[in-house]
Chain A
Amino acid sequence: MKILIVDDSSTMRRIIGNVVMQLGFSRDDFDEAEDGVKAWKILGESQYDIILTDWNMPNMNGLELVQKVRAGGNHQKVPIIMITTEGGKGEVITALKAGVNNYIVKPFSAEILKEKLDGVLKK
């Protein structure tokens, strides 16, 4: 299983990566991208089973990335979890409408991410 972690904060990418490793994945199981543009490029090069993306990022934000992924391509059906500080109801609805499968508000615990990952992967 391959996971793509997209976040402009290197610390946040490492935190998510660590949580993912706690869930039993190895370092080779996930790749990182610092914005939507780089994520889109990586998605064109490899196949991923799940995408974990932030919302607010430079160049291309998470919402735009989700819209682009859902618009077409190899990852159109791939589960996407948005991990962001945007905790407003309006934002959650916007993200879900754009095609996000689940939504996590920062700060989050490892258990929350585990639950959301399990829920997405079971589907």
Chain B
Amino acid sequence: MSMSQEEIEALMSGLDIQEDEPSTPEVQEPEPVIEEDNTSMSENDIADLIAQTDVATDDSADSSPETATPAIETQAESAAEEAISEESIDELINNIEENDESTASEDSENIDDILASIDGMDETPVESAAAAPVSAPVENASVAAERPSEPEKEAIAKDWTDGQIDQGVFPFPVEKNTKVVNQLSEVATDSEEKASKIFDVLSFVLDENNEIQKNSKALDEFLSKQIVLLDSLSKKFPNIASFKSNLELAQSLQPMPSNIIDRTNAENAQLFEAMELMQFHDINRQKIERVMSVIKKLSTYLNNLFEDETDYHDVATAKHIHGDVNSNLVDEQDLDALIAEFGN
């Protein structure tokens, strides 16, 4: 069994991780496993194992390094099992113990290497960091986590405002999208444009149908002439079968052009009807314009109603007036108490 290109790539990508990526922290965790396997197995051994097992083939089909690494581990385990059968149990136990020790030492070394490779992470800073008082930053962090960020605040405010608008407590903000006449005007203009485009499509189909009808007429004339010709030829040469068969074929095709013309005529009638129905677009547009006119006149009326002809200037208005229903108002007793309290 030979390795496929994908298997080779999977294997190569697994090896690339070991060689190229110790600087990136994300892929450093599986790295020691790869190193272990590579120290105990040569590339040829790995290639042999991949070739021997179907599982390895399936797994290595995925060319990502993450999937290639477990495949290599599986092969290493199966190879170890084969070796066990050939050696004595004592030797195996010894080997296992040695392996465990060496593996443990390798693991600890690898972990140290990994930690050392990560910027700012070694034993000393960890200890100093552990010794440093962490309560204040933790508190600050928790307070910061409780406090909503600016976008969150905006979202909360928007939700609240939308709720108030839905309940009718707040009016819609005066924006382009909420101005009634503006919106209606846009609807009228936009639907006019779209109706024009629909009309373009209908006109195109109508023109195409007319073209089809012209071609069908020409085809009909040609077929009629062919039938006359083939009829005379088949009569003159009755022994030639092709004349007769072509005559029959032409006769069978003769109704088709007129059939096409009839169908396109029916389709054109439908198109004309659709065009006529589009008058309702114009009628609806005029209805919208009538509503716009009413709103504009109402707006003018309200402006006139509230118009101030005097030379009015804004003056400061009282916030609390006698008779208001407000818990913030002071009565005589409150007033006396406040005056006494300040002792002025």
B276 x A110 contact (CB < 8 A): yes
A107 x B276 contact (CB < 8 A): yes
- Complex CA–CA separation, A110 to B283 (angstroms): 17
| B 208-219 binary contact with A (CB < 8 Å = 1; else 0) | 000000000000
Tell me the smallest distance from the CB of A69 to a CB of chain B, in Å: 23
- Complex CA–CA separation, A12 to B286 (angstroms): 12
Besides the known contacts A107-B279, A107-B283, 9 further A-B residue pairs in the complex with CB atoms under 8 A apart: A11-B192, A11-B278, A11-B281, A14-B275, A56-B286, A85-B283, A85-B286, A106-B279, A107-B280
Tell me the smallest distance from the CB of B4 to a CB of chain A, in Å: 64
Tally A residues with Cβ within 8 Å of B. 17
Tell me the smallest distance from the CB of A5 to a CB of chain B, in Å: 13
B275 x A15 contact (CB < 8 A): yes
Tell me the smallest distance from the CB of B147 to a CB of chain A, in Å: 57
Q: Which chain B positions have C-beta within 8 A of A56?
A: 286
| A 13-31 binary contact with B (CB < 8 Å = 1; else 0) | 0110011001000000000
Q: Which chain B positions have C-beta within 8 A of A85?
A: 282-283, 286
Tally B residues with Cβ within 8 Å of A. 17
Q: Which chain B positions have C-beta within 8 A of A107?
A: 276-277, 279-280, 283
Q: Which chain A positions have C-beta within 8 A of B195?
A: 11
B282 x A9 contact (CB < 8 A): yes
Q: Which chain B positions have C-beta within 8 A of A108?
A: 276, 279
| B 272-307 binary contact with A (CB < 8 Å = 1; else 0) | 100111111111011000000000000000000000
Q: Is B196 positioned at the interface, with any CB of A under 8 Å from its CB? A: yes
Q: Is A10 positioned at the interface, with any CB of B under 8 Å from its CB? A: yes
A15 x B286 contact (CB < 8 A): no
- Complex CA–CA separation, A27 to B286 (angstroms): 27
Q: Which chain A positions have C-beta within 8 A of B203?
A: 14, 18
Tell me the smallest distance from the CB of B189 to a CB of chain A, in Å: 11
Enumerate chain A interface residues (CB-CB to B < 8 A): 7, 9-12, 14-15, 18-19, 22, 56, 85, 106-110
Q: Which chain B positions have C-beta within 8 A of A11?
A: 192, 195-196, 199, 278, 281-282
A12 x B279 contact (CB < 8 A): yes
Q: Which chain A positions have C-beta within 8 A of B272?
A: 18, 22, 110
| The one of B192, B279, B285 that contacts A15, using a Cβ cutoff of 8 Å | B279
- Complex CA–CA separation, A12 to B196 (angstroms): 9
Tell me the smallest distance from the CB of A57 to a CB of chain B, in Å: 11
CB-nearest residue of chain A to B191:
A11
| B 194-209 binary contact with A (CB < 8 Å = 1; else 0) | 0110010001000000
- Complex CA–CA separation, A14 to B275 (angstroms): 9
B192 x A106 contact (CB < 8 A): no
CB-nearest residue of chain A to B188:
A9
- Complex CA–CA separation, A108 to B283 (angstroms): 11
- Complex CA–CA separation, A56 to B285 (angstroms): 12
Q: Which chain B positions have C-beta within 8 A of A12?
A: 279, 282
Most-contacted residue by chain A among B279, B280, B286 (CB, 10 A) = B279
CB-nearest residue of chain A to B286:
A85
A10 x B196 contact (CB < 8 A): yes
- Complex CA–CA separation, A29 to B275 (angstroms): 20
- Complex CA–CA separation, A107 to B274 (angstroms): 12
| The one of A7, A14, A19, A109 that contacts B199, using a Cβ cutoff of 8 Å | A14
Tell me the smallest distance from the CB of B289 to a CB of chain A, in Å: 8
